[in-house]
């Protein structure tokens, strides 16, 4: 087996998704703990233990306790190289999460035992289904009281529209929580509530052995046997290929906060999860072993507040990336060299000399990249699948400090390239409008403009129903539409025509009156 094939096969690149508060960031942190990437849970190595999760490093995240930007973290575990993308659970940042899902080979969904499947999880699962991404479910917070595990399995099947198969099974929950039986490895994992240690596990192939009673008592031993019989009767055996096709989700139970059930999840995950898979480009199907190619799925301004720099996140789809080699930037049609490519451990980053298909690296960006850009070893390829969705909330953005106009414009420019929100400029009066999918993004933009660029903005209300991209095969029809609707038109950041409808009625009428105009609700057309 060649070195390239070997490196690609040991990679596991996945995203953790969930509804806010299901415990996603805590789970990410415990996974990093096993990878030796951090040493104390909840700590960033420093003279005093800081109580902020490693993956939430933007100031506003620390204040709010929510993740707003997708973090990328890589570490080695056993013989595997693992890349985790921790995504924002908050629905105002759904777009960032949708884009992240285009850069991963599989997904772990975190579900809270008490709350079950929530709206955001359902929506994200749709994206996984659409892309046939394999999914593993981790049922979290078993140390609290929640739904009956069997009821929860039914709910998962119904809400996520996927078959499930438990690979571990809880013994009681809440204060009575005793641990789980690991069906996948035939082990009994017992629980002692302690946040910094991993608990005892005993190999237990034969559940009819009376030893079981000694560990968990008579009643629970009986219940566990009955539960496992029922599982064997109701659910078909776990089949890796059905999982890889995206038709079956293995389910694990545990408590991320108490570091329980996390290692079992990780051990099974590295064995069954897919290594990097072929990626579809407009031109052809790109195999992981092909020469180097990759696409930019995210751009982040100011990872380091001391340097006004942007970093473009590149998902490597095929081959091997080498530092200082020449690569072709397809959209700009020019060759570029990268001396400073970095790999991440939350905000700690180190320079990499090489990276392989499946890895995610950061490239310093001085304005060369847009989301969706492709880099290759020379072949012309375009990777598809990075949509911007039509925003649903709009505000005019105004400069609150005339002395700082330059900083404001630069800040808006960089933050929009990051895909935080979308900028539209009215062709009628030249005013700038920001469109987002959620209210929270306006606060994040205002906060970051002030703290990262020293610029102050103020928002002015704007009531719009939807912004949609327009095009037509007939130049006359387009010209006519623009004349008639000139006060409703704007340009997006790429200079494409956008129609701003202030009500659903206006949009409907426009669609009716101008049959030759196509209205698009996602920028990818």
* Residue that terminates a domain, selected from 376, 404, 436: 376
Gap between the terminal Cα atoms of the chain: 41
Residues 293 and 413 in one domain: no
Residues 297 and 255 in one domain: no
Q: CA-CA distances (angstroms) from residue 336 to 182, 289, 332?
A: 50, 22, 10
Q: What is the pLDDT of residue 523?
A: 64
Residue 224 lies in a domain: no
Which phi and psi (to 5°) does residue 119 adopt? Answer: -50, -50
Residues 290 and 345 in one domain: yes
> Poorest-confidence range of 189-193, 207-211, 269-273, 348-352?
207-211
Residue 226 lies in a domain: no
Q: Above 90 in pLDDT, residue 233?
A: no
Q: Above 50 in pLDDT, residue 66?
A: no
Which phi and psi (to 5°) does residue 352 adopt? Answer: -110, 145
Residues 120 and 91 in one domain: yes
CATH number, domain at 83?
3.40.50.300
3-state secondary structure 37-76: CCCCCCCCCCCCCCCCCCCCCCHHHHHHCCCCCCEEEEEE
Q: Above 60 in pLDDT, residue 492?
A: yes
Average pLDDT rounded to a whole number, residues 183-192: 79
Q: How many CB atoms lie within 10 A of CB 470?
A: 19
Q: Above 50 in pLDDT, residue 49?
A: no
CA atoms of 270 and 285, how far apart (whole Å): 25
Residue 383 lies in a domain: no
Q: Above 80 in pLDDT, residue 237?
A: yes
Residue 213 lies in a domain: no
Q: CA-CA distances (angstroms) from residue 123 to 84, 114, 116, 118, 387?
A: 20, 19, 14, 9, 15
* Closest C-alpha to 411, from 460, 457, 372: 457
Q: What is the pTM of this model?
A: 0.74
* Closest C-alpha to 410, from 453, 457, 447: 453
Residue 384 lies in a domain: no
Average pLDDT rounded to a whole number, residues 392-407: 89
Cβ atoms 452, 307 nearer than 8 A = no
Q: Above 60 in pLDDT, residue 75?
A: yes
Residues 29 and 166 in one domain: yes
Residue 182 lies in a domain: no
* Residue that terminates a domain, selected from 324, 341, 376: 376
CA atoms of 168 and 182, how far apart (whole Å): 4
* Residue that terminates a domain, selected from 246, 272, 298: 272
Please give the residue that has the higher pLDDT: either 204 or 486: 486
Q: Above 60 in pLDDT, residue 457?
A: yes
User: Within a 13 Å sphere around the CA of 87, how many CA atoms are in the beta-carbon half?
Assistant: 31
Residues 52 and 34 in one domain: yes
CA atoms of 411 and 305, how far apart (whole Å): 13
Residues 304 and 413 in one domain: no
Q: What is the pLDDT of residue 45?
A: 31
Residue 200: DSSP 8-state? P
Residue 503's contacts (CB-CB under 8 Å, 6 or more residues apart) are 465
Residue 209 lies in a domain: no
> Poorest-confidence range of 40-44, 142-146, 470-474, 498-502?
40-44
Residue 71's contacts (CB-CB under 8 Å, 6 or more residues apart) are 28, 55, 56, 57, 85, 86, 344, 346
Q: What is the CA radius of gyration of the chain?
A: 25
CA atoms of 57 and 52, how far apart (whole Å): 8
Residues 263 and 289 in one domain: no
Residues 288 and 266 in one domain: no
For residues 163, 165, 169, 172, the Cα torsion angle rounded to the nearest 10 degrees is 20
Residue 50's contacts (CB-CB under 8 Å, 6 or more residues apart) are 43, 44
Q: What is the pLDDT of residue 147?
A: 92
CATH number, domain at 450?
3.30.70.3280
Confidence band, pLDDT 50/70/90 cuts, at residue 253: very high
Residue 199 lies in a domain: no
Count of the separate structural domains present in the chain: 3
Residues 344 and 399 in one domain: no
Confidence band, pLDDT 50/70/90 cuts, at residue 377: very high
Q: CA-CA distances (angstroms) from residue 297 to 66, 103, 385?
A: 21, 7, 10
Residues 128 and 248 in one domain: yes
Residue-wise pLDDT for 99-132, tens only, equals 778 888 999 999 999 998 887 788 788 878 877 8
CA atoms of 243 and 231, how far apart (whole Å): 18
Residues 246 and 297 in one domain: no
Q: Above 90 in pLDDT, residue 194?
A: no
Residue 191: DSSP 8-state? -
DSSP letters for 316-362: EEESEEETT-EEEETTTTEEEE-S--EEEETTEEEE-SEEETT-EEE
* Closest C-alpha to 301, from 371, 403, 358: 371
Domain span at residue 494?
A: 393-520
* Closest C-alpha to 319, from 374, 360, 376: 376
């Amino acid at each position: 087996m060649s070195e390239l094939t070997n490196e690609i096969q040991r990679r596991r690149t996945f995203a953790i998704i969930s509804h806010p508060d299901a415990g996603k960031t805590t789970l990410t942190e415990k996974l990093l703990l096993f990878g030796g990437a951090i040493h104390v849970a909840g700590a960033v190595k420093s003279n005093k233990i800081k109580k902020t999760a490693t993956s939430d490093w933007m100031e506003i995240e620390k204040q709010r306790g929510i993740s707003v930007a997708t973090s990328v973290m890589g570490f080695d575990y056993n013989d595997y190289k693992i890349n985790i993308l921790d995504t924002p659970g908050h629905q105002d940042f759904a777009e960032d999460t949708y884009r992240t899902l285009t850069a991963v080979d599989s997904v772990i969904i975190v579900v809270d035992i008490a709350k079950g499947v929530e709206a955001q999880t359902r929506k994200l699962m749709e994206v996984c289904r659409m892309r046939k991404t394999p999914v593993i479910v981790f049922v979290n917070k078993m140390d609290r009281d929640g739904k009956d595990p069997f009821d929860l399995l039914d709910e998962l099947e119904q809400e996520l529209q996927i078959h499930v198969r438990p690979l571990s099974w809880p013994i009681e929950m809440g204060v009575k929580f005793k641990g789980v039986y690991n069906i996948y490895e035939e082990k009994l994992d017992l629980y002692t509530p302690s946040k910094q240690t991993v608990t005892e596990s005993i190999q237990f192939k034969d559940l009819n052995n009376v030893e079981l009673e000694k560990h968990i008592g008579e009643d629970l031993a009986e219940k566990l046997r009955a539960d496992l019989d029922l599982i064997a009767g109701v659910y078909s055996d776990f089949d890796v290929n059905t999982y890889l096709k995206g038709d079956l989700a293995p389910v694990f139970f545990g408590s991320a906060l108490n570091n329980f059930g996390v290692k079992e999840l990780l051990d099974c995950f590295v064995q069954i999860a897919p290594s990097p898979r072929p990626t579809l480009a407009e031109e052809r199907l790109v195999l992981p072993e092909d020469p180097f190619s990759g696409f930019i799925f995210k751009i982040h301004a100011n990872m380091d507040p001391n340097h006004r720099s942007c970093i473009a996140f590149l998902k490597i789809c095929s081959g091997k990336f080498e530092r200082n080699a020449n690569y072709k930037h397809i959209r700009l049609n020019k060759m570029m060299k990268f001396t400073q490519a970095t790999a991440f451990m939350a905000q700690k980053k180190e320079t990499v000399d090489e990276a392989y298909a499946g890895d995610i690296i950061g490239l310093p960006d001085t304005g060369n990249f847009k989301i969706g850009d492709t880099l290759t070893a020379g072949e012309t390829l375009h990777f598809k699948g990075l949509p911007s969705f039509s925003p649903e909330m709009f505000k005019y953005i105004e400069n609150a400090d005339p002395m700082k106009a330059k900083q404001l414009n630069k800040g808006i420019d960089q933050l929009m390239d990051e895909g935080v929100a979308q900028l539209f400029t009215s062709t009628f009066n030249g005013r700038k409008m920001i469109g987002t999918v959620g209210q929270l993004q306006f606060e994040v933009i205002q906060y970051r403009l002030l703290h990262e660029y020293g610029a102050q903005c103020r928002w002015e209300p704007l009531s719009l129903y939807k912004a949609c991209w327009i095009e037509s095969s007939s130049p006359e029809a387009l010209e006519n539409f623009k004349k008639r609707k000139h006060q409703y038109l704007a340009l997006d950041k790429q200079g494409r025509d956008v129609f701003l409808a202030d009500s659903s009625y206006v949009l409907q009428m426009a669609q009716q009156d101008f049959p030759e105009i196509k209205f698009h609700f996602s920028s990818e057309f």
